[in-house]
A = this chain, B = another copy of it.
Amino acid sequence: MSDKALVLFSGGQDSTVCLAWALSRFQMIDTIGFDYGQYHRIELDCRQKVISEIKRKFPLWKSKLGSDHIIDLSILGQISQTALTENISITIDDSGLPNTFVPGRNLLFFIFAAAIAYQRGFKNLVGGMSQSDFSGYPDCRKDTIVAQQKALNLGMDTNFKIITPLMWLDKAKTWKLAENLGGVELTEIIIQHTHTCYKGNRSLLHSWGYGCADCPACLLRQRGYETWLRTDS
């Protein structure tokens, strides 16, 4: 069981780096994605392209990739009216929390992932949460993930390990990790095929990828990319 990992894979930059990280460490890797009727559903379309590009450019990793599981969580769109699910503006409230917050979203993701892993006999769950770049989402914090791991292991009477390789990395270090894991082949996949933009923009290509270059997610990605290039040279 310990050489098998299930990766929470959305098709974004962070989860693509996590997938590469898992492919470089484990022998058998499944992926899981969540379809919750989000406005940038385009991210879910990107994930298929990222997987096929990884398989094309990395034959060893291709041999380790197993099943891809898609969970229909359209109910989340009904529970939480946010900019992720509706075409409304991104705002930040007084506590610093963006209105893209779906309460407990990452907790839900891990419980569904664990239910799949339980039945597939996988021990490791890998997610791209980062406390360094957590944008105010409390369910990205290390303490939250540790607490959810404990609840999962008690509730399923098992011994899952939740691994978050990006927990203490900012976006610049995440770009660097991608380069270390898969070189320019991987960073090119990230630039060309992963999606980050809150507004779903896939028409403008920048050095750091597609996006509106204006929403908080684009700005974070752009700044991280530029910092990586600057500190790397």
Interface size class on chain A is 35 or more
Interface of A, helix, strand, loop or mixed by DSSP: helix
Assess the B156–A139 pair: CB atoms within 8 A. yes
**A207 contacts B by Cβ under 8 Å:** no
**A191 contacts B by Cβ under 8 Å:** no
Assess the A151–B154 pair: CB atoms within 8 A. no
Interface residues of A in 100-130 (CB under 8 A from B): 102-104, 106-108, 111-112, 114-116, 118-119
Assess the A155–B150 pair: CB atoms within 8 A. no
Assess the A115–B80 pair: CB atoms within 8 A. yes
Assess the B151–A116 pair: CB atoms within 8 A. no
**Given known contacts A147-B150, A151-B144, A111 and B107 CB-to-CB distance under 8 angstroms:** yes
**A71 contacts B by Cβ under 8 Å:** yes
User: Which listed residue (B73, B103, B115, B157) contacts A114, Cβ 8 A?
Assistant: B103
Shortest Cβ distance from A115 into chain B, in angstroms? 5
Interface string of A74-95 (1 = CB under 8 A from B): 0100011000000000000001
Shortest Cβ distance from A60 into chain B, in angstroms? 30
**A8 contacts B by Cβ under 8 Å:** no
